[in-house]
Amino acid sequence: MIEKTITIKNKAGMHTRPASILVKLASKFKSEFYMEREGFQINGKSIIGVMSLAAEYGSKITLKFDGQDEKKASEAILKFFEEGFGEL
């Protein structure tokens, strides 16, 4: 299992467009992917789950990856977050 805590960097937070892209990206991998904020954990492959986090600018989110391709999944998804969802 890989676990990493990140901070939302883009000013608009995790709104509909990046949430949709994130779910599509995560769904390419076989590994389980979960996101946790303030003790609330959701499936990162669920658009409803991702939107329910209400992750605004500056939010701390813990990303969890578990499975056969967890390293590749974590690298791709962490890059997406680091680049501010392509909106910076």
pLDDT tens digits, 24-80:
999 999 999 999 999 999 999 999 999 999 999 999 999 999 999 999 999 999 999
Domain boundaries, the chain: 2-86
CA 24-42-25 angle, 5° bins: 15
| CATH assignment of 2-86, among 3.30.1340.10, 3.90.960.10, 3.30.465.10, 3.40.50.10860 | 3.30.1340.10
Beta bridge partners of 36: 41, 62
**Residue 50 and residue 56 in contact, taking contact as beta carbons nearer than 8 Å:** no
Active-site positions?
A: 15
**Model pLDDT, residue 87:** 72
**Model pLDDT, residue 88:** 60
**Model pLDDT, residue 7:** 95
